[in-house]
Amino acid sequence: MKYRNLGNTEVKLSATGLGCMGMSHAYGEPDDAESIATLNLALDLDINFWDTADVYGNGQNEKLISQVLKPNRDKIFLATKFGFRATPDGKLSTFDGSPDYMKTAVEASLKRLQTDVIDLYYAHRIDPNVPVEEMVGAMAELVKEGKVKYIGLSEASANSIRRAHAVHPISALQSEYSLLTRDVEAEILPLCKELGISFVPFSPLARGLITNTLNVADLKEGDFRKSLPRYQESHAGNNQSLAQGFAGIAEGIGCSPAQLAIAWVLAQGDNIIPIPGTKKRKYLQENAGSVEVELSAQNLADIEDLLKKYPDTGARYNEGYFKFVDKN
């Protein structure tokens, strides 16, 4: 495994982390035994950067991870998040970034994770009803109390990042970034580089779409991709052709499409640490191999040409999810 620094610190994080959401949330039925085996394999592969959130499975994901985290605490850099409130069936309802809610949320996460400190604590979104300075100020108090080591933001605008960073150093910003989702390239990536913030892309595989293994017609009930524009039949032809073309480029390089997609993200900056999510060992092993893929200028040009050929990929979120994305 190769490593990259967290922000301006000397903390070494595996160049590809592990997104744990799908083990308990959003992608069909959980398989706890396979998920535990996947977490243990992550240790064997020296993948030390694990990502969860209190809302994933309404706390169940944190409890699941704790089974491997507790006996291996010194080997894992654990990130979790707060802010989303969910209905009993797991659907996101509101976002609460208030200091009072945060204090309750962090104690609940610490208890579920069976640890006395969270390595990286993210605000899962920006609350339009709470000044970001107030929210980050409260998060900074958790650092002083020793309950949190570093703080981060997720899906925040450039303005919010600057305001937050002026209150307390932001070590990481997590947002969606992949070959098909590149909004962050205009302002966010340059700003993170300027301020010394690690950029942590989630869904670097476009939720499986770029791997050439996903048939949108086969998505099962309970898979939240069924509600997203990008995974509808209206975009299926474009995206299938794109995935097939991308697989051809990967074959020419000698890697899998998934490895190429992650390698492309890694190549966009040395402060970028993607967290591809999986709940299966075979995919974790494959994803870990992406750090060995070297891309030439011609490879990168070929990818850009392919993307221009199939532009009708569809939006990453529906209106309901977009309302939680900070635009201020």
Give CA–CA dist 324/302, Å, rounded: 34
DSSP 306-328: HHHH------SS-HHHHTTS---
CB 14 within 8 A of CB 198: no
Which tokens hold the place of 159? 């303005």
DSSP 14-28: ESS-EE-GGGTSSBS
> Strands 3-5 and 12-14, how do they pair?
antiparallel
Tokens 């590149």 correspond to 182
Tokens 């850009």 correspond to 304
* CA distance between the termini of the chain: 38
Give CA–CA dist 306/303, Å, rounded: 5
Is 56 catalytic? The answer is yes
- Burial class (CB within 10 angstroms; exposed 0-12, middle 13-18, buried 19+) of 91: exposed
Of 27, 56, 121, 283, catalytic:
56
- Burial class (CB within 10 angstroms; exposed 0-12, middle 13-18, buried 19+) of 327: exposed
Which tokens hold the place of 135? 């929210």
Helix (H, G, I), strand (E, B) or coil at 118: strand
Letter string b/e over residues 288-321, b meaning 16 or more CB atoms within 10 A of that residue's CB: bbbbebebeeebeebbeebbeebeebbebbeeee
Output DSSP code: residue 53: -
Residues annotated catalytic, as ranges: 56
